[in-house]
Amino acid sequence: MIETITLEQAVEKLLQAEDILVLCHKNPDGDTLGSAGALLHALQAKGKRAAVLCSDPIAPRYDFLQLSLYDESWQPGYVVAVDIAGTQLFGEKSVEWGKRADLCIDHHATNSGYAGDTLVRPEAAATAEIMYEVIEKMDTPITPLIASCLYTGLSTDTGCFKFSNTTAYTHQVAARVIEKGADLIRLNQLLFESKSRSRLAIEQIATSHIEYHFDGRCALMYVTRDEIRQAGADDTDLEGITSIPRAIEGVQVGITMRQLESGSYKVSVRTLEPIDAASIAAGLGGGGHNRASGCEFFGNLENAKAAVLAEVAKQL
Amino acid sequence: MIETITLEQAVEKLLQAEDILVLCHKNPDGDTLGSAGALLHALQAKGKRAAVLCSDPIAPRYDFLQLSLYDESWQPGYVVAVDIAGTQLFGEKSVEWGKRADLCIDHHATNSGYAGDTLVRPEAAATAEIMYEVIEKMDTPITPLIASCLYTGLSTDTGCFKFSNTTAYTHQVAARVIEKGADLIRLNQLLFESKSRSRLAIEQIATSHIEYHFDGRCALMYVTRDEIRQAGADDTDLEGITSIPRAIEGVQVGITMRQLESGSYKVSVRTLEPIDAASIAAGLGGGGHNRASGCEFFGNLENAKAAVLAEVAKQL
């Protein structure tokens, strides 16, 4: 566990900074985007120039976050990485900026400490929980837009308050951002109740490949790059499909393997207590949380499956 | 809107009562059962005899509520109806007790006022929100079991904090009951995160048949009897699959056709505003509500599809 600075120190640095670039991780999810959006709007409210950069395209459903995207017309003076545990998560377009990050705000226990300063709280369900406190401490009003950004992070990283990372504090912060005007009816509809055609198609294909192992205690699902293309899906359609295998009755370890453009497989591990997902991923050179972890496997599908199942066997 | 007594009045009556029968509505859901369970355990903690009665069987997944069921070995002296808007919702086994209910605690704006006293708060997302305050005011400790009962009511009536009835206050109460020991990890898993293998299999098959019509404004999905058998699914596995087609982006009319044992097709229609689902079903001899309706079609799949799509065309 790396050393963390205090909330007060992080806020002091942000308030002193000018021309701030806010970085999101690749394959952006609601927490990296929502937390970055909240920080962006708070910094802009303080009269600062700020913009967001993400290596991968941002799904249109996140348009309401109103992210000002970095356009290279100015030179950042301070770089903040949001919800990014290690430099491998930046992606091509932002990795050079990521390497010189001045500050990282994150909730991953595995944060590698790559930034100049790191504010990390592994007990937070989402980076948005930490960002809520950062913005409160910045003494800038939590507008309805900032509240909606924070609600997006909180709700998406907890599966709408359903996952095991959810705490009493998560609900307290949710209550406060709803009071500040987070548009929870519209956001819940947008984030949890609707599905693109291509998302449905890729789920359909992925679930057709479900295999059960170890007496049904492990379910493994995969999608190849050809299938992703065939479904007309892009990476944003793939967000969250990793929760499908573990949700099956009797399953304690859910594995999702999706092929990347490079041909290698991104492996996502989701477990129920007491199975340690981080140990499974660690055996394959990856990392993550107790219940959710991941790694990348260079090799063909059958080899990748065999390697993953061998690690699962050690934990079951 | 009927007259409501105050929280203080309701608590005073409960504290004066002895031998208390707590009634749940028929087809019991998590709110009627969880709220009744919380009240039951609080009354028992106050040294009172109390039991729960429900006309319909209670699903095994609610065993953790530890409901003491009424066994007719004693005569109730006071009857409390929980989450029951009108006498038609009692069901055969409890309707006679329901008619002489002394107190009703409910959050339905349509409550008919059938009970001697009614504590009704239509702004509450769940009866459990009101029951939380009742128990706090009774000055009996909120044990982990009571907290889990209340969490069950809160979370099930809001679709785990996703539905439009959710408020900041719902999240505040959730935070408090989690602090009091509600077992949210186990409960969320039990109530929201699990899917049988056969349910997943039937969804997989049904979604493989999705067809889009009228420029994607209508999605039609079907499953044959052979496929239901092949998936090992029974009717409980098919519950709720009808929500799949309408949840697709751009779809205003979602149609699900499932073949019955007789060979005919049960057609379920789900629409978004302003499309009238009842009119579509009415054209096929069925009926229902504005957003959800159904009918039965005697004939082969292709004829059934053509007939349904002709009715959809009239409404689009």
The phi, psi pair for B32, rounded to 5°, reads -65, -40
Inform me whether the pLDDT recorded for A176 exceeds 90.
yes
Whole-angstrom distance, CA of residue B221 vs CA of residue A163 = 30
Whether the CB-CB separation of A121 and A107 falls below 8 Å is answered with yes
Average pLDDT over residues B12-37: 96
Query: Is the Cβ pair B208, A212 closer than 8 Å?
Result: no
| pLDDT score of A136 | 97
Query: Is the Cβ pair A273, B185 closer than 8 Å?
Result: yes
Confidence grade of residue B109 (pLDDT, cut at 50, 70, 90)? confident
Residues A55-102 have pLDDT tens digits of 999 988 899 999 999 999 999 999 999 999 999 999 999 999 999 999
Residues B209-253 have pLDDT tens digits of 999 999 999 999 999 999 999 999 887 678 778 889 998 999 999
Give the CA diameter of chain A. Answer: 59
The CA distance from B31 to the nearest CA of chain A, in Å, is 17
Q: Where are the alpha helices (DSSP H) in chain A?
A: 7-16, 30-45, 95-99, 127-138, 144-157, 168-179, 184-192, 197-208, 225-230, 277-282, 301-315
The phi, psi pair for B74, rounded to 5°, reads -140, 165
Is residue A178 less than 8 Å (CB to CB) from chain B? yes
Residues A133-160 have pLDDT tens digits of 999 999 999 999 999 999 999 999 999 9
| pLDDT score of B237 | 77
| pLDDT score of A195 | 87
Inform me whether the pLDDT recorded for B192 exceeds 90.
no
Is residue B211 less than 8 Å (CB to CB) from chain A? no
Whether the CB-CB separation of A228 and A253 falls below 8 Å is answered with no
Residues 6 or more apart from A131 whose CB is under 8 A from it? A35, A38, A39, A82, A105, A150, A153
Give the residue from chain B lying closest to A248, CA to CA: B195
| pLDDT score of B290 | 81
Q: Which two tokens stand for residue B267?
A: 């057609």
- ipTM of this model? 0.81
Residues B246-291 have pLDDT tens digits of 989 999 999 999 999 999 999 999 988 889 999 999 999 988 778 7
Minimum-distance CB partner of B175 among A162, A163, A172 = A172
| pLDDT score of A1 | 66
Residues B47-74 have pLDDT tens digits of 999 999 999 989 888 999 999 999 999 9
Average pLDDT over residues A292-304: 92
Q: B194: how many CB neighbours lie within 10 A of its CB?
A: 17
Confidence grade of residue B1 (pLDDT, cut at 50, 70, 90)? low
Residue A159: HSE in the Cβ half-sphere, 13 Å Cα cutoff: 18
- Name the percent of chain A lying above pLDDT 90: 88
Minimum-distance CB partner of A200 among B166, B171, B207 = B207
Inform me whether the pLDDT recorded for B87 exceeds 90.
yes
| pLDDT score of A164 | 87
The number of residues in chain A equals: 316
The overall average pLDDT reported for chain B is: 94
Distance of CA B93 to the CA centre of its chain: 19
Inform me whether the pLDDT recorded for A236 exceeds 80.
no
Residues A270-286 have pLDDT tens digits of 999 899 999 999 999 99
The CA distance from B247 to the nearest CA of chain A, in Å, is 5
| pLDDT score of B226 | 95
Inform me whether the pLDDT recorded for A7 exceeds 80.
yes
Residues B111-131 have pLDDT tens digits of 999 999 999 999 999 999 999
